[in-house]
Chain A
Amino acid sequence: MAADAMETLAGRYTRRAVRSVFTYTREAHPGENYRHHTSMDDKRSNARAFRDHSHIRRRILLDDLAGTAHRAYGLLPNMTWIIGPGGFIHYKSSWTSPADVENTLEAILDFQTNRAKNEWVAFYSERSAWSTRDLAQFKEGLLRNGPQAVADFERMLQRTGALRAAPSDDVGPRIPGNFYKTEAESSQ
Chain B
Amino acid sequence: MMNNRTYNYSVFDASPSEFAEFATHAPKVTMRAPSFLLEDLETGRKIQMKDLWKSDVVVMEFGSFT
Which residues of A from 68 to 116 have beta carbons under 8 Å from B?
68-92, 94, 96, 101, 105, 108-109, 112
B37 near A64: Cβ-Cβ < 8 Å: yes
Closest Cβ of chain A to B28, distance in Å, is 6
Query: Which residues of B lie under 8 Å from residue A124 when comparing CB positions?
Result: 28-30
Q: How many residues of A contact B (CB 8 A)?
A: 94
**A17 and B57 in contact (CB under 8 A), knowing A68-B36, A89-B28?**
yes
Q: In chain B, residues 3-44, which have Cβ atoms closer than 8 Å to a Cβ of chain A?
A: 3-4, 7-14, 18-23, 25-42
Known contacts: A22-B63, A74-B26, A179-B20. The answer to whether A67 contacts B7 by CB under 8 A is: yes
Closest CB-CB distance, B27 to chain A, in whole Å? 6
Interface string of A124-154 (1 = CB under 8 A from B): 1110000000000000010001001100110
CB distance from A85 to the nearest CB of B (A): 5
On whether the beta carbons of B41 and A89 are closer than 8 Å, the reply is no
What is the CA–CA distance of A174 and B51 in the complex, to the nearest angstrom?
37
Taken together as a complex, chains A and B put the C-alpha atoms of A148 and B33 apart, in Å, by 36
Give which listed residue, A1, A13, A108, A149, contacts B63 with CB less than 8 A.
Answer: A1
Residue of B nearest to A63 (CB): B38
The size bracket of the interface on B is 35 or more
State which of A61, A73, A79, A101 has its C-beta within 8 Å of the C-beta of B39: A61
Specify which of A23, A31, A67, A84 is in contact with B53 (CB 8 Å cutoff).
Answer: A84
- Is the Cβ of A123 less than 8 Å from the Cβ of B36? no
Residues of chain B contacted by A73 (CB below 8 angstroms): 26-27, 34, 62
User: How long is the Cα–Cα vector from A44 to B43 in the complex, in angstroms?
Assistant: 11
Please pick, from B4, B27, B61, B65, the residue contacting A53 in the complex, using a CB distance under 8 A: B65
A-B contacts, 26 listed (Cβ < 8 Å): A10-B59, A13-B59, A18-B59, A20-B58, A23-B38, A23-B61, A29-B66, A46-B65, A61-B39, A61-B40, A65-B7, A82-B58, A82-B59, A86-B53, A87-B50, A88-B32, A89-B30, A92-B22, A92-B26, A112-B57, A123-B30, A145-B65, A152-B11, A152-B12, A156-B13, A179-B19
